[in-house]
Homo-oligomer: A and B are copies of this chain.
Amino acid sequence: MKNYSFKNDYSEGCHPRILEALVKTNLAQQNGYGYDEYSEEARALIRQKINNGNADVHFVSGGTQANLLIISSILRPHESVVSAETGHIFTNETGAIEATGHKVHGLMTDDGKLKPQHIQSVLDTHTNRPHQVKQKLVYISNSTEIGTIYTKKELQELSVFCKANNLYLFMDGARLGQALTSEINDLTLEDVANLTDIFYLGGTKNGALLGEAIIITNDKLKEEFGFHIKQKGAMLAKGRLLGIQFLELMKNDLYFDLAKHSNVQAMKIKCAFQTKGFEFLSDTYTNQIFPILSNSQIEKLSKDFDFYVWKKVDEENSAIRLITSWATSDEVVEEVVKEIQSL
Name A's B-contacting residues (CB within 8 A): 4-5, 8, 10-14, 16, 19, 22-23, 25-33, 61-69, 72-73, 76-78, 80, 91-96, 98-104, 125-126, 128-134, 204-205, 209-210, 224, 226-238, 240-241, 327
Which of A13, A67, A235 counts the most chain B CB atoms within 10 A? Answer: A13
Residues of B within 8 A of A12 (CB): 26-30
| B92→A131 contact, CB < 8 A | yes
* A58 → B minimal CB distance (Å): 11
> A209 — nearest CB in chain B belongs to which residue?
B241
Residues of B within 8 A of A33 (CB): 131
- Given A94-B133, A134-B227, does the pair A5, B29 have CB atoms closer than 8 Å? yes
Residues of B within 8 A of A94 (CB): 78, 130-134, 227, 230-231
| A226→B130 contact, CB < 8 A | yes
| B130→A204 contact, CB < 8 A | no
* A201 → B minimal CB distance (Å): 15
| A95→B78 contact, CB < 8 A | yes
* A250 → B minimal CB distance (Å): 20
| B22→A19 contact, CB < 8 A | yes
- Given A22-B22, A131-B93, A224-B130, does the pair A62, B210 have CB atoms closer than 8 Å? no
Residues of B within 8 A of A226 (CB): 129-130
* A235 → B minimal CB distance (Å): 7
| A8→B32 contact, CB < 8 A | yes
- Given A23-B19, A95-B103, A130-B224, does the pair A231, B77 have CB atoms closer than 8 Å? yes
Docked pose: A31 CA to B100 CA in angstroms: 29
Residues of B within 8 A of A16 (CB): 26
Residues of B within 8 A of A64 (CB): 230, 233, 235
Contact of A130 among B132, B134, B229, B237 (CB under 8 A): B229
Interface pairs (30), CB distance under 8 Å: A8-B237, A10-B237, A12-B28, A12-B30, A13-B26, A16-B26, A19-B22, A22-B22, A61-B236, A62-B233, A62-B235, A64-B233, A65-B234, A66-B233, A67-B233, A69-B233, A72-B77, A73-B77, A77-B95, A78-B227, A92-B128, A94-B227, A95-B133, A99-B231, A129-B226, A130-B224, A133-B231, A210-B238, A210-B241, A232-B233
* A126 → B minimal CB distance (Å): 8
Docked pose: A185 CA to B4 CA in angstroms: 49
| A236→B93 contact, CB < 8 A | no
* A88 → B minimal CB distance (Å): 10
Docked pose: A100 CA to B233 CA in angstroms: 11
Residues of B within 8 A of A29 (CB): 4-5, 11-12
| A26→B19 contact, CB < 8 A | yes
Docked pose: A30 CA to B80 CA in angstroms: 31
* A198 → B minimal CB distance (Å): 16
Residues of B within 8 A of A22 (CB): 13, 19, 22, 209
Docked pose: A234 CA to B65 CA in angstroms: 7
Contact of A10 among B76, B91, B238 (CB under 8 A): B238
